[in-house]
Amino acid sequence: MESGGWQISLVDTGMVPIEAEHMGPSGTFTETYEGPVNVLVLRGHGQTVLVDAGSGPLISIWPGAATKPFDVEPDLLIATHLDWDHFGGFVAGSWPDALEPAYPGKRVLAPAEAVADARAGGGDDEKTAPPVVAALDAAGLLDEYDDGAEPAAGLRLRRAPGHRIGHSILDVGRSFVYACDVFQHPLHVAHPEWDTAFDDDPELGLQTRLALLAELADSGKTTAVAHIAEPGLIERAGDGFRWVPREA
């Protein structure tokens, strides 16, 4: 895939099991969803950009989760938000007390309000963000971005609130969007009201999901998310939407 002068790769770095009861109404999903844990690698404009970094040493906090090694030498590191399965891979070492930067000397861009929250001891239920932020801060490698930030040519970060504080999506050129955790499964495109179990603010998360689905359906942009194996297109289907896979 290419957009805005960037060659785009969606890279599977592992798996996180999500129990059926968290995926939709009772009886809708009958098996645990083994969701991939994707990261985005962009190559172009003379640099390599890594968007999210998988679980890293935080893999141990989620029973049954698995991680895969991946090889990339990034020039720019971007975190869409500070959940363990996206932010944990920016550090290496042992969880939780012996963490160090996974990419020594490389600065990590993270959403400003989420960083402030983590520095104050907040974050997800497992409180995974504060130790990771502390490890990056100790090395002087954490930078903050605000809504609308453009960290490189053709890249724009936008807040997509409701899932986690600071949760952001990334526009790559004019034809690709990395929507991260706005939805988790193809059926959540057709039934966006099902995907609320992991939102800090389910009502706001649903508003964000519906607005983004309408935007993507009207624009025809290729979309990738963190926990669906392949990129896809959002199409209108009656009064709702559907997910149409496409080859990476």
d(CA 66, CA 36): 9
Structural domain of 110: 2-245
132/148 Cα distance (integer angstroms): 24
Dump pLDDT digits (tens) for 45-70. Answer: 999 999 999 999 999 999 999 999 99
> Which has the closest alpha carbon to 175: 246, 98, 125, 104?
246
pLDDT higher than threshold 90 for residue 214 = yes
Q: How many domains does the chain have?
A: 1
Report how far residue 55's alpha carbon sits from residue 39's, in angstroms, rounded to the nearest whole number: 10
Return the pLDDT at 127.
86
What is the per-residue pLDDT for 126? 66
Residue 12 sits at the vertex; the CA angle it makes with 9 and 15, to the nearest 5 degrees, is 160
Mean pLDDT, rounded, for 9-36 = 96
**Closest residue by Cα to residue 37 from 86, 76, 98, 109:** 86
Cα 226 to Cα 37, 52, 67, 153, distances in angstroms? 6, 9, 14, 23
Q: What's the pTM value of the predicted model, to 2 decimals?
A: 0.96
| Per-residue pLDDT band at 125 (split at 50, 70, 90) | low
Which CATH number does the domain housing residue 103 bear?
3.60.15.10
pLDDT above 60 (res 248): no
Exposure b/e, 135-157, CB count within 10 A at least 16 = b? bbeebebbeebeeebebbebbbb
User: What average pLDDT score do residues 107-111 get?
Assistant: 98
Tell me the C-alpha distance between 141 and 125, whole Å: 25
Whether residue 122 is predicted with pLDDT greater than 90 in this model: the reply is: no
Mean pLDDT of the chain: 96
Distance CA 31, CA 66 (A): 18
Percent of the chain with pLDDT over 70: 98
Before 96, cis peptide (omega within 30)? Answer: yes
- For residue 77, pLDDT beyond 80: yes
Q: How does residue 187 score in pLDDT terms, banded at 50, 70 and 90?
A: very high
Contact 140, 185 (CB under 8 A): no
